[in-house]
Structure formats: structure tokens, C-alpha cells
Amino acid sequence: MALISIIPDFYPTGDTRLLARAEELKPTLHHTIREPMGAFKLKERYSKEKNDIVLHQLPHITMGKGENICLDFGEHQVGYVTLDLTYSGSHPDAPAFLKLKFAENFRELSENSLEYSGWLSRSWIQEEYVHVDVLPARVTLPRRYAFRYLKITMMDTSPKYKLLVKHAECMTETAAELEKIAEPDTGDEKLNRIYSVSLKTLADCMQEVFEDGPKRDRRLWVGDFRLQALTNYVSFKNYDLVKRCLYLFGGSRFPDGRVSACLFTKPTVEADDTYLMDYSLMYVVALEEYLQETGDEEALNDLYDIAMQQVEYALRQCEAGDVVNEQAVKDTFIDWGDELEKTACSQGVLIFALRYARRLARRRNDWSQANWLLQRQDALRKAAYERFWDEEKGCFVSNGQISIASQIWMVLADVAEPEKAAQAMRKTLEEMDEPAMQTPYLHHYYVMALLRAGLRDEAIAHLKNYWGGMLDVGADTFWECWDGKDPDRSPYGGSVVNSYCHAWSCTPAYIMDRVLFPHS
């Protein structure tokens, strides 16, 4: 089961000034009309076998009761669908009853949503039942969908007529202008493809905010947002959208000032009642990174105190021995998986965030705060080394568990000297299998930790193996979770609700552009 928070009578604070500024920064959304690139029929309703249709024949192919037509739009789309429908045979004497199933990848077409029994709401499954009373008809669906494939199934009709799909289109929607981005040239064909798909993933998640996924949850999550902002800086450079999201998080928070893990923006802006310590600390990191890019004094002055509140709250969760307490660990995400012991990870994220908090304090000329943060950072780093480094094993051990995640965050926090950091990361390549990393979110930080430890070749190999592995099975945007050993893995109890275009998987372009192949 995942981290779920339900706080009765939760009333987040609202800063009208910050929210008004965020509203001023709302982006212009760009629209393009996309039409299907191919079509086919599934041999059975939930079959994985298909018969291709020559696309220009589509307007002449009829559908009777129980039959289906699948439209392939060629790549992932986010937008609004319109269908032009007509009929052949006698005048329709009953409505056409259709089921429309939108799928981000091919495997979803064969999944029966009635068999899903996971803990996440099935209302996220992109299926619609539509009655069309009068034919011919133009049907424009009111909801926004994220998909590549659209399966149209004739649930019922009359024997007197059959349905024809004369035309279909999707009006896409995004705050990004992907067509203005130059093709990458890393010198490696697979890395070039990974780079392009990473930007496509980001573009489809850039809406009125940086959404975590356009299929699900369509929300602004701090952890995803920080990674999206990084990739945005090397591509679309939509600084106003980053600033808008920073102000939204600042504008609606927990009553005690904590930044929520995610926000709702409609009908009004409202912080969710979920707090994740590592995510709130990523707000501090994201603010400093935004200021590195822009030098925006207004944002620094407006958001500095909010950022420091996140650090000070987290520091209060440390025990006398300068190690995070049980509640802090409980409030930390890191990755999906109940089996992961997160104490070392939580400590590492806090130390990592203090590095950025100190930079913010220096930027604000708040020297007493900067000096205090340095003292706390040194104390936490020393405590982490004494608590978690195992000289005999040559790696970090978190309450008896050796995990890749612990090595990642101890290395990114610079807890060990470079030689020992490299030793710990080499062990992840050779000996550590369980608990396995579940998401591209943690895999991003794994690559960054490899690079921090000086293992550049290993970092490139992991990019090609992990993100390239998704490409090898047909991804045209990167996914929420991926395990090449278990392609059906889902943190929700069923892959039918998995997101196959997810923000926290968009960072390969950033890693390549800023770290692996920086511009001269």
C-alpha cells in the first residue's frame, strides 16, 4: 500500500498575494490537430492479436454489434478527441451504443478493466460509454485524454445498420513548443532517441502546471516538479511555468507552513493533505535551482521564508544523535515499495537539501542562517557516516538493510569521501538486487549518484539499459514505473492504471545536456 493521507477537516492556508502572482504566470497552451496514422481490428475484444487496416479504407469499414476498430495516432497524444460518425444500410432505428477505450500503449487495449482490483480508483481508467442517438453525427468528447490508441467497440446497435468512422482527430494541448527543439547529437543513436523521448514526455506533462502525468494524476507534485524543471531548463526554457508552480506551492500549504506533497488547481488552488518530508525539501532545492537559472529577486524575496520553514521543520525531526526520527522516515517517499528501509535515505535527502538551503541563505545575505545551516549539515553528515557506513561491507547499511537507495542518498549527500562513495556505488552494480528500484524517479537519482562517484561510463550504461529498455518494448514516452524483469509490475495492484507518460521519467535529456555532454 502506498503513502495515503486523509486528514479530517483539513484546511490549508491560502496566500492570496502569491496565488494571484501564480495566476498571472499561467501559460498559453498550444494546440495542434493530429489524425490517426494507422488502424487495425483486434481479433477478439481483449485480444493481443490484430488485423491491420489500410488507413484510407477506414471510412468504408463497417462495425456491427461486438466489433471494434482501433485507431493508432502514431505517438502519444494529450488532448481532445472528435469523431465523425455515419452509417451504412437502412436508416438507424436505434442509438449506436459505443465503448471508447483510450490507451497509452498497445498492451492496455487487451486489458479488461473489470478485472482490476487494485487500491487506486478505477475512475482513472480512460474508458467512456457513449450513446449516439442521431447519425450522421460529430461527437466531440469533453474530457482531455492521454493516449496513442483509441479502441472503438460497438456495444450494441440495430440489425438495420452498421457504423462507419468517417474521420477522427485529436486537438493536442501543451504549454511546450516541441517543434522548436533541435534534434540531439550525442554521437550515440540510442542516447539520441532517449533524449528525444524524454523531451516528448516532458512536453506532454506541461499543461497549466507541470503535471505528474496527463493520464493520472494530472497534479502538481513537488518531487516530479523538481525533475521537470531541470529538464525544462535545457529545452523549453519556460521559466514562468516553473515560477508559477513555486508560487502555487507557496500559496497553499499546511496550516503550520509545510509545503504539501502535491496540489489541486481546480476549481481553486488547494494543497492536498499529504506531507512527504523528502518532497517538501525538494521545494527548497527547486527554488535554488530556479534562481541559479534566472537570478529572480522577486521569487527569492517572496519564497525564501517558505523554503527555510521546510528545512527547519525537517531539522526538528532529528534525534539527539543528529539522525532523523521515526516520524521523518515514515513521512518520506524515496520510491515505491514497503520493504525499503528509509532511514539512511531520509537522512541523505535532508543533508542534500541543506546544501541548497545554504546557497539560498547566502543569496539572501542571511549569513547567520547560512552559518547555522552549515553547522547542522556537518553534524548530520558526521552522524550519518558513523551510523550507516560499514567499513567491513564497504557500503552504507540502514538499520541492517543494504539497499541501492541508501547508497544513492548517502553519496549524493557527500557523507563519505570520494573513494568510499565510488566503492559503495560499485557495489550497487555487482551485489545489490533487493529491494529493487521501482521507478524512474529513483533511477534518476541513481544515475546522478553514479556520476557523483565518478562512474561516468556506468551512468551512461544505465541510461541506455533502463530508459532504453522502455524504448525496446515500444515506449514513445517514458513510464511511471518500469522493471525489465517484471514488465507487468504496478505499485497499484494492476497495470491498467499505470501511467505511461510520467513526469519523473523525463530527466535523461537534462543529464545528457548538463552533465554528460555539456555544451562548450
Distance CA 88, CA 165 (A): 11
For the residues 278-306, what does the mean pLDDT come to? 98
Statement: residue 3 has pLDDT above 90: no
The model's pLDDT over 129-160, given as tens digits with 9 standing for 90+, comes to 999 999 999 999 999 999 999 999 999 999 99
Distance CA 223, CA 227 (A): 7
What's the domain count of the chain?
Answer: 1
For the residues 313-342, what does the mean pLDDT come to? 95
User: Quick check: is 126 in a domain?
Assistant: yes
Where do we find the cell 518532497? 279
The mean of the pLDDT values for the chain is 96
Which string of DSSP letters, residue by residue, matches 359-425? HHHHHTT-HHHHHHHHHHHHHHHHHHHHHHEETTTTEE-BTTB--HHHHHHHHHTT-S-HHHHHHHH
Statement: residue 4 has pLDDT above 80: no
Q: What is the CATH number of the domain that holds 116?
A: 2.60.120.260
* Number of neighbours of residue 389 by Cβ within 10 angstroms: 18
pLDDT band at 520 (very low <50, low <70, confident <90, very high): very low
Q: What is the pLDDT of residue 2?
A: 46
Q: What is the pLDDT of residue 1?
A: 38
Statement: residue 491 has pLDDT above 70: yes
Statement: residue 327 has pLDDT above 70: yes
User: Quick check: is 233 in a domain?
Assistant: no
For the residues 56-84, what does the mean pLDDT come to? 96
Statement: residue 391 has pLDDT above 80: yes
Report which DSSP code applies to 514. I
User: Quick check: is 257 in a domain?
Assistant: no
Q: What is the pLDDT of residue 142?
A: 97
pLDDT band at 5 (very low <50, low <70, confident <90, very high): confident
Statement: residue 381 has pLDDT above 80: yes
What share of the chain has pLDDT > 90, as a percent? Answer: 93
The model's pLDDT over 449-485, given as tens digits with 9 standing for 90+, comes to 999 999 999 999 999 999 999 999 999 999 999 998 8
Report the alpha-carbon angle 238-243-245, nearest 5. Answer: 100
pLDDT band at 80 (very low <50, low <70, confident <90, very high): very high
pLDDT band at 167 (very low <50, low <70, confident <90, very high): very high
The model's pLDDT over 348-377, given as tens digits with 9 standing for 90+, comes to 999 999 999 999 999 999 999 999 999 999
Domain that holds residue 129: 30-174
User: What is the identity of the amino acid at 123?
Assistant: S
Q: What is the pLDDT of residue 313?
A: 98
The model's pLDDT over 427-451, given as tens digits with 9 standing for 90+, comes to 999 888 789 999 999 999 999 999 9
Strand order in the sheet with 262-264: 220-221, 262-264, 270-271
The model's pLDDT over 194-234, given as tens digits with 9 standing for 90+, comes to 999 999 999 999 999 999 999 999 999 999 999 999 999 99
Q: Which of 219, 217, 68, 237 is nearest to 149 (CA)?
A: 68
Q: What is the pLDDT of residue 518?
A: 86
